[in-house]
Chain A
Amino acid sequence: MTAPKVLGGFVVNGERHQTAFQPHRTLLEVLREDLDLTGTKHGCELGECGACTVLVDGTPVLSCLVLALEAQGKDVTTIEGLADGPDLHPLQDFFAELGASQCGYCSAGFMLAAKKLLEDNPDPTRDEIRRALSGNICRCTGYIKIFEAVELAARRLRGEDATPSREALHGQ
């Protein structure tokens, strides 16, 4: 059985896209394979890792379990849309600064989940950060640098001084 393709339109990172795909294709597949937005990753395709996280109308969801059709007419933000032109988003800047992105495969998912957290809660505690990021798995970093990067990004977004601690970069 081959269901006919349908024409889907969405706004991705502020740009309008139209593309035709079969109904069973997920947003993950269409973003990566049809729109060449390969910054969104996948590690399980079953909702079990968070690598495929994107924002749909501002809410972080798992693109491996959302049909592309369900994103029709919505606003999708991927990692490619996080930076402001050449200027890195504070999350990106501190992920880079602290090494919160080792292989980087999980980073897009973490940063998009964190973006929403910081919008809802500009001054989260470490515990709130843990919780907000508890749908994303990272196998490289041990999460600590990710927590620290989110904390620093929050500070900068609040307009406060955001300098990494000596211990974060040098150990004790």
Chain B
Amino acid sequence: MLRLPRFTYHRPTSAAEAVKIAADHGPASQYVAGGTDLYPNMKRRVQTPTEVIALSGCADLVGVSGSAAEGITVGAMTTLTSLEKDPALQAAHPALVHAASVISTPLLRNMGTIGGNLLLDTRCNYYDQSHEWRESISFCMKCSGDTCWVAPSSPRCWAVQSSDTVPLLCAVGAEVSLIGPEGERRIPVADLYQDDGIAFTTKKPGELLTHLHLPAVDGTWRASYRKLRRRDTFDFPVLGIGAWLRFDGDVCTAAEIRIGGAGSYAIPATKTAELLIGEKLVAGDAAAEERITAAAQEAFKPTRAMDNTDHFASWRKKMAPVFVARALRDCLG
């Protein structure tokens, strides 16, 4: 049986208390929400906090509040199942509900939280392996080693952004609140990440993610999430497209497309977005179809599929334009 390493367990009852415990213990500590990412990583010995701070007792981190028109706020400890089943979210943010519903499995979604999903560790099939396995490659840069086996001449780690909600939340312009020893802050989700497989978040040490803030729903924008994976359950995205289009009538006035599962952060498909802004985009219209297909082609270049996930990297890269086009079509009225 694969077992957890030994640790001391803390169970604060509020976010403030949790932050204090984390501050007391420094880098040896780590928060745990649903544990569906942290515990497997601990069993594989890629993360080995000796102080585990469980957030399950923090009632102030759970629940969905606010209104669609003003903006809905979701507590970090809200499970993916509750998010998926929440009637307000279903009505106001179907793309997010869809993205959550294609994460992992129903059992894992009963445990996993939105906060944990936002802070999901980057993945790589040289890294998501047992201690013994990694010993046979003399470890890698992300944990205990110095080479990146995906690109041995590269000075950086290319572990993959693998959360399903992140590309979408970046695209729609959602925000998060964090509290830490230095106080509270609220930032765009997109700013929570940076392009590095190891230091993939900008979250400061000891900072706790408390809430996710969704943008107001005013009928001017539509969003979509499209996921590529081998099986219709369990699997992480090997490509996850978040798309968001704002319209004035039939004309697209703003666009944001993020490519997940194909780089260390949700990569913006800037060129694609540029090509759509100012265009008339109507579902079923041949010209619009063509414009979307052409714009989606531009998603090929920024997609950085490497040989560290499921499926051939070359195919994943070729699939980016296809999936981007599909996500964009979903957004047409």
Q: Do chains A and B touch in the complex (CB under 8 A)?
A: yes
| A46-B40, A47-B36, A65-B39 known; A1+B6 contact, CB < 8 A | yes
Is B91 at the interface (CB under 8 A from chain A)?
Answer: no
**A50 near B107: Cβ-Cβ < 8 Å:** yes
A 20-69 contacts with B by CB, 8 A:
22-26, 29, 42, 44-48, 50, 53, 59-62, 65-67, 69
Is B312 at the interface (CB under 8 A from chain A)?
Answer: no
Which listed residue (A23, A45, A67) contacts B35, Cβ 8 A?
A67
| A50-B107, A66-B111, A134-B105 known; A3+B36 contact, CB < 8 A | no
| A48-B234, A65-B39, A70-B54 known; A26+B106 contact, CB < 8 A | no
Is B5 at the interface (CB under 8 A from chain A)?
Answer: yes
Q: What residue in chain A is nearest B34 (Cβ atoms)?
A: A65
Is A163 at the interface (CB under 8 A from chain B)?
Answer: no
Which listed residue (A3, A62, A69, A136) contacts B6, Cβ 8 A?
A3
A60 to B4: give the CA distance in the assembly, Å. 21
A82 to B294: give the CA distance in the assembly, Å. 57
Is A132 at the interface (CB under 8 A from chain B)?
Answer: yes
Scoring B54, B104, B110 by chain A CB atoms within 10 A of each residue's CB, the highest score goes to B110
**A66 near B1: Cβ-Cβ < 8 Å:** no
Scoring B40, B54, B107, B233 by chain A CB atoms within 10 A of each residue's CB, the highest score goes to B107
Which listed residue (A1, A2, A44, A50) contacts B105, Cβ 8 A?
A50
Which listed residue (A3, A26, A131) contacts B8, Cβ 8 A?
A3
Q: Closest Cβ of chain B: how far from A59's Cβ, in Å?
A: 5
A72 to B36: give the CA distance in the assembly, Å. 19
Q: Closest Cβ of chain A: how far from B212's Cβ, in Å?
A: 22
Is A113 at the interface (CB under 8 A from chain B)?
Answer: yes
**B9 near A135: Cβ-Cβ < 8 Å:** no
Is B232 at the interface (CB under 8 A from chain A)?
Answer: yes
Q: What residue in chain A is nearest B32 (Cβ atoms)?
A: A67
Q: What residue in chain A is nearest B40 (Cβ atoms)?
A: A46
B 2-17 contacts with A by CB, 8 A:
2-9, 11
